[in-house]
Structure 1
Amino acid sequence: MVEHLGDIFGEQRALAAGRAFVDLSEREVIAVTGADRLSWIDSLTSQSLARLQPGESAETLLLDPSGRIEYAARVIDDGETTWLLMDAGTGAGFAAFLERMRFMLRVEVADRSAEYATIGMLGAREPAADAVSTLRRDADAPLGQRLLDVSAAPNGVPLVWNDPWTAVQPGGHQYARGAHPGADWSYREVLVERTRLGELADAPQAGTLALEALRIAAWRPRAATELDATAIPHEFDWLRSAVHLAKGCYRGQETVAKVHNLGHPPRRLVLLHLDGSDEVLPAAGDELRLGRPQDDGTVVGRITASARHYELGPIALALVKRSADPASELTVVADAGLVPATQELIVPPDAGAEVEVPRIPRLGAVRR
């Protein structure tokens, strides 16, 4: 794991153009085999996976009975095995949950993190191109082909995951309005046998800070950074890629439907443009207050991730209360000082309440 190699902005440019990869080998990999694997995971999680075809990519969330997010998984199926790509520190817990839910089904769950490493990259993407052909046609074709050459394919299908964040998925819903930066988010992950990582030693590489800056600019939520104990999908616009609103019952589905159809998420994700006049970069968990630094306003949220972007400057993702005025300036309370910030809406305050419920007249009321 390398945060940067000495040229943070240069690494971002190279990564965005498909000329560099990121070593994400601390991330975890869970494999599920057996004839019932897809219908079983479909019944437990938020995305429609029962008909996932070999080589297709998806994203799904495991919710608790109250609709709060417990785990997020990036999903590939190769026709024999469903591969769950997980953030570091989350794979073992998800695998343990799946083990408890096996009952008499034809499924087997295994943690394959010790065998497979995750490599991340971005690059040019053609409409309707699958993950493998896209990798071959990247702006820097030699790197894309090289990653494809070392990608794991234990059952004959290269394990290449294309991030569905690039568009609203079937059955999903987007709260963000207007142009969405996710449309240009051409991110993918490739699974590589750890014994073959050395074959990429001389390939162009970027650090994890470069990937983080590009992810934040794309408004892309991630389990390891954005989630806390009370997070629900609506707060991050995660219905866009990881939730199917019409697929039927799964754990937490009642909350998903109720908030989307009748209510509003209590918090909302925003992109913050930070004052770049000094070198203070907020950390995850730093408080957000309403108003300018001299106002000493009330606390309305917290930073989830921050970075210095090669075009946008200092930016951050933050969760704020739904009631916080979208037009208000905010102040980040960082250890090194107070940082002024302006909001860019991702999830608007009126997100949700998609179904208009007719008012029923009170008994005895007289119509005029």
Structure 2
Amino acid sequence: MTPRTCRSAWRIRRSLRKPLPSQVLMSDHCAQLSWTASPFSTWIEISGPSHLRFIQGLCTNDVVVLESGSGCEAFFPTVQGKILAHGFVYKSDDRLEFLGLGDQSPGLLPHLQKYSMIEDVEVNDRSTQGNAIFVWGEGLEACLQELLGSEVTLGTSQHGTITWEGATLRLFRISVVGKPSVEIRGEQAEAFGTRLSECGATSVGIEVFQRDRIVNRFPWHGVDISAEHLAQEANRDDLAISFKKGCYLGQETIARIDALGHVNKKLVAVQLPKQVEELPLAIKVEEKEVGQVVSAAELDGQTRGLAMIRRSHNAAGTKIECELGTVEVL
């Protein structure tokens, strides 16, 4: 199956309303939102005459078909088809940008710089530049409209630029928590978060983001997946891998696995019988390890998790009787 990409343009349309004064009122829309310091610590920019061809040859998704202002989820695989990095690639007229959870620069940046030596491209690590917050919740677009005095249309995986109180902010739509969400980058990003709180949004810790991304089955590179895992073991084929694009690094292994029809293990969502104190935690059946719980979070009195489980036990609905109790694959 082909991955999902968004081709509609980013739109910010001026409304007839005047911008809100500095003393804003509590908003029902904003009250539905949560925000935290952005967990997307990796931000790499690729520019130059060959930037599009360059990244097309190094990632699993088809960035050529993207329109400017849109993006897609992708892996950057090794020659062996293993996951060097995972995140989102965004396209502008003159550059591509990669955003990834956690600090993936130490692995990805040298990889890109190595291959850039034979291409007319420039690779820049922007990870430490500016501030960034992550905002999510059902009232997102309406709340932004109230704050900006503009209609903000946020399509899936789109990005764009807004001006707020004289400051420039970058907005990246990132689908990781199962609710409308956006990362906001810029020197005044934290101040914008404070304004959201004044309007009724809730400033939360990273553990709330972790809970929501775990429930939404989104992996964190370096926690749930790593350079030891094959791309298909992350269980993101439909969203992050194009099986129709041309050649790229690691494609031979990925295509061979696709032809074979399965990998020996993959990341799945699980229901756990109790809270987990230490991770990763082995799942053993008759003293034989069949998987590992790699992330876990509490939701409504239940413990949900992500686990890398062998093919013999990872089908949805499977109930694994182990030392923990009953682990159910969701």
| TM-score of the two chains, using structure 2 as the length reference | 0.75
Equivalences for 1:149-168 in 2 at 5 Å?
153=161, 159-163=170-174
**2:213 is matched with which residue: 187, 212, 215?**
215
Give the equivalent residue in structure 1 for 2:292.
302
| Paired residue secondary structure (2:116) | coil
- Does the Cα contact within 8 Å between 1:160 and 1:188 map onto a contact in 2? no
Give the equivalent residue in structure 2 for 1:175.
none
Give 1:115 deviation, angstroms.
1.4
* Cα shift readout 1:134-170 (whole Å, capped 9, x = no counterpart): x5336x8547989x8xx98399x964333357xxxxx
**Structure 1's 268 and 105: CA in aligned 2 closer, same or farther, altered over 3 A?**
closer
Paired with 2:47 and 2:314, the residues of 1 have a C-alpha distance of 48
Paired with 1:15 and 1:213, the residues of 2 have a C-alpha distance of 22
Give the equivalent residue in structure 1 for 2:302.
313
Give the equivalent residue in structure 2 for 1:111.
125
Give 1:110 deviation, angstroms.
0.9
Paired with 1:192 and 1:268, the residues of 2 have a C-alpha distance of 33
Give the equivalent residue in structure 1 for 2:313.
324
**2:226 is matched with which residue: 225, 228, 232?**
228
**Structure 1's 215 and 26: CA in aligned 2 closer, same or farther, altered over 3 A?**
closer
- Does the Cα contact within 8 Å between 1:268 and 1:322 map onto a contact in 2? yes
**Structure 1's 91 and 145: CA in aligned 2 closer, same or farther, altered over 3 A?**
farther
**1:192 is matched with which residue: 185, 190, 199?**
185
> Which residue identity is paired with 1:78?
S
- Does the Cα contact within 8 Å between 1:272 and 1:316 map onto a contact in 2? yes
Give the equivalent residue in structure 2 for 1:285.
280
Give 1:36 deviation, angstroms.
1.9
Equivalences for 1:1-368 in 2 at 5 Å?
18-24=32-38, 27-124=41-138, 136-137=141-142, 142=146, 153=161, 159-163=170-174, 185-194=178-187, 196-201=189-194, 203=197, 204-276=202-274, 280-290=275-285, 296-310=286-300, 313-324=302-313, 326=315, 327-331=318-322, 339-345=324-330
Give 1:30 deviation, angstroms.
1.0
Unaligned runs of 5+ in 1: 1-13, 126-134, 166-181, 291-295, 332-337, 346-368
Give 1:18 deviation, angstroms.
4.5
**Structure 1's 88 and 260: CA in aligned 2 closer, same or farther, altered over 3 A?**
same
| Paired residue secondary structure (1:224) | coil
| Identity percentage of aligned residues | 19
Note the aligned Cα RMSD (angstroms).
3.3
Give the equivalent residue in structure 2 for 1:353.
none
Paired with 1:252 and 1:298, the residues of 2 have a C-alpha distance of 31
Higher strand fraction: Structure 1 or Structure 2?
A: 2
Q: How many residue pairs end up in the alignment?
A: 286
| Paired residue secondary structure (1:95) | helix
Paired with 2:127 and 2:85, the residues of 1 have a C-alpha distance of 17
Give 1:195 deviation, angstroms.
5.1
| TM-score of the two chains, using structure 1 as the length reference | 0.68
- Does the Cα contact within 8 Å between 1:21 and 1:119 map onto a contact in 2? yes
Paired with 1:216 and 1:206, the residues of 2 have a C-alpha distance of 16
Moved more, 63-72 or 24-33: 24-33
Give 1:20 deviation, angstroms.
1.6
Unaligned runs of 5+ in 2: 1-27, 153-158
**Structure 1's 206 and 341: CA in aligned 2 closer, same or farther, altered over 3 A?**
farther
- Does the Cα contact within 8 Å between 1:116 and 1:191 map onto a contact in 2? no
